[in-house]
A and B are shown apart, each in its own frame.
Chain A
Amino acid sequence: MKLTLHIWRQKGPQEPGRFVKYELDKVNEHMSFLEMLDVLNQELIARGEEPVAFDHDCREGICGACSMVINGIAHGPQRATTTCQLHMRHFKDGDVIYIEPWRAKAFPIVKDLIVDRSAFDRIIAAGGFISVRTGSAPEANSIPVPKDVAELAMDAAECIGCGACVAACPNGAAMLFVAAKVSHLNLLPQGQPERFIRVKAMVEAMEREQFGSCSNHRECEAACPKGISVSFIARMNRDYRKALWKTVEHQGGKAEGISQFRG
């Protein structure tokens, strides 16, 4: 099939970007979206032009690297699918496709379609962990976890941190990401000791990165390649509300994140 691509090209973080139009012939319907871009890049290299820079790694839908907004939809039109798992059979001959990077103040553009998602790392560093003694592995059955709780925690833990929720949210909010990360630990017994300081620390870290607020548009859930439910956002809101009377603030400590709540 034949496609007309309008791709966001931007040389660097401070450079002005613009859309560049590319005509691409002989696109095979069995190609993934990224393979289609590989073919384009081969042509660009052959012509002596700069190839389009985009993030990718595993190409099997589990790493969360591939990030692009395809015709206004993060990860493209196929629901619960990452860009690398999106196949060209979902497009028609003669289609015009706009490809843009994630757009959010918290995700500055590095080059072309690549954005810096280290804001997510800083949110995780603030509370996306449990404090346990390292050493020999604990006996697997020493802490019983009900089956339905384990399943629900796994639903949240499916989050691959791709940032599609932020890209899709009209407010540029990271609520679904943070809610998934808070929930998968807060649901499990191992996450209980730090449950309320975790939610507060991670929400505050999210705010420092200047993500937007939640208007309950549910665009994040629709864009999420793992189909993570907005019910986790409700769960995080609930824990945040409870944290109001379940946390004690210590004086003096300037460290950010969970450590700030420790004596």
Chain B
Amino acid sequence: MKVLSFYSTTVGKKLVMAITGLILAVFVLGHMAGNLQIYQGPEKLNHYAELLRVSMPLLWTVRIVLLLSVLLHIVAAVQVTLQNWRSRPKKYAVSAYQEADIASRTMIWGGLVVAAFVVYHLLHLTLGTAHGSFKPGDVYHNVVAGFQVPLVSLFYIVANVLLALHLYHGMWSWFQTLGFSHPKYNRARRVFATVYAVVIAVGNISIPVSVLAGWVK
């Protein structure tokens, strides 16, 4: 099949990673923005949570798109990473990076930690099985009670720092992979990716920090 023949190359795999990564990044932004309603009190946040579940077909459509994106993103990432390792069986004795930064060099590792975090996050605040006092429907209580455990908050904070690093490279990189490059806006790509990563990190991390500090209770 034609699509499969395109996917067989790393250029094709990277195209899939760019598109799925973009879907996930847009979701992460929306998820963060919605959750900031915690600062408007329990009624507002719990009402927002109810709103998301008004239409089950819509909810499951979104969930399936996200799940497929996550799976394709990870499968392609593992495939290209393994090929990259095979492409350089013998390492250099001296390595000196000139442009590659910590973000671009840790995509696979940061990505895998974030993936593990997402599983924990779903068990913690969606299903509640990894939560001490989970009350279905009372999102505000679940978040506040969950983040009052310092170790849990710490994991959320660390995962979000890694997510920001992942986005810092990814939100710049997808332009390149999808072929959007022009001297007119190439500089803006780096600014865009930096702002995107910082906004996500600050927005998300502010919630456990506010709970631990007692500003949200």
Interface residues of A (CB under 8 A from B): 6, 19, 69, 71-73, 98, 100, 103-106, 168, 170-173, 175, 203-204, 206-207, 210-219, 221-223, 230-231, 233-241, 243-244, 249
Interface centre among B9, B95, B182 (most CB of A within 10 A): B9
Nearest-Cβ distance from residue B99 to partner chain A, whole angstroms: 4
| A172 CA / B88 CA spacing, docked (Å) | 6
Q: How far is the CB of B89 from chain A (nearest CB, A)?
A: 6
Asked, given contacts A104-B87, A170-B84, A170-B105, whether A213 binds B14 with beta carbons under 8 Å apart, the answer is yes
Contact check, A100 vs B86: say whether CB atoms are below 8 A apart: no
Q: Which residues of A contact B126 (CB under 8 A)?
A: none
Chain B's closest residue to A214 (CB) is B14
Of the candidates B84, B105, B178, the one whose C-beta lies within 8 Å of that of A173 is: B84
The answer to whether the Cβ of B97 comes within 8 Å of any Cβ in the partner chain is yes
Let me know if B89 and A105 touch, CB within 8 A: yes
CA distance A240 to B9 in the complex (A): 10
Q: Closest approach, in angstroms, between the C-beta of B54 and any C-beta of chain A? A: 37
Of the A-B pairs whose beta carbons lie under 8 Å apart in the complex, a sample of 6, sorted by A's number, is A69-B92, A71-B94, A207-B9, A215-B84, A216-B177, A241-B179
Q: A219-B98, A221-B99 are contacts. A239–B179 as well, Cβ < 8 Å?
A: yes
CB < 8 Å neighbour of A217 from B12, B104, B186: B104
* B173 & A172 in contact (Cβ 8 Å cutoff): no
Contact B91 A249 (CB under 8 A): no
Q: Which residues does chain A contribute within 8 Å of B105, judged by CB atoms?
A: 170, 217
Q: Contact: A73 with B96, CB < 8 Å?
A: yes
Say whether B151 faces chain A, with CB atoms less than 8 Å apart. Answer: no
Which residue in chain A gives the minimum CB-CB distance to B93?
A98
Of the four ranges (under 10, 10 to 19, 20 to 34, 35 or more), the interface on chain B belongs to 35 or more
Q: Give which listed residue, A100, A213, A216, contacts B92 with CB less than 8 A.
A: A100
Q: Name B1-55 residues within 8 Å CB distance of A.
A: 2-3, 5-6, 8-15
Q: Cβ of A210 and Cβ of B5 under 8 Å apart? A: no
| Chain B min CB distance to A77 (Å) | 8
Chain B 69-104 near chain A by CB (<8 Å), digits 1 or 0: 000000000001001101111111111111110001
Complex-state Cα separation, A22 to B20, whole angstroms: 52
Would A98 and B94 count as touching, CB distance under 8 A?
yes
**Distance, CA A218 to CA B99, complexed state (A):** 6
> By the criterion CB–CB under 8 Å, are B80 and A213 in contact?
yes
A235 to B175, CA, bound (A): 11
- A222-B98, A241-B179, A249-B2 known; A171-B87 Cβ under 8 A: yes
> How far, in angstroms, from A216 to B94 measured CA to CA in the complex?
21
Chain B residues contacting A241 (CB-CB under 8 Å) are: 15, 178-179
Contact of A172 among B3, B12, B87 (CB under 8 A): B87
Q: Judging by beta carbons under 8 Å apart, are A249 and B10 in contact?
A: no
The answer to whether B84 touches A235 (Cβ under 8 A) is no
How far, in Å, is A42 (CB) from chain B's closest CB? Answer: 26
B residues within 8 A CB of A235? 179, 181
- Asked if residues A171 and B99 are in contact (CB atoms below 8 Å), the reply is no
Complex Cα–Cα for A227 and B169 (A): 22
* Residue B172 CB within 8 A of the other chain: yes
Kindly list chain A residues whose C-beta atoms are within 8 Å of the C-beta of B186: 231
- Residues of chain A within 8 A of B99, CB atoms compared: 217-219, 221-222
A216 to B174, CA, bound (A): 9
* Minimal beta-carbon separation of B185 from chain A (angstroms): 11
Query: Given the interface contacts A212-B10, A218-B99, does A103 sit within 8 Å of B177 by beta carbon?
Result: no
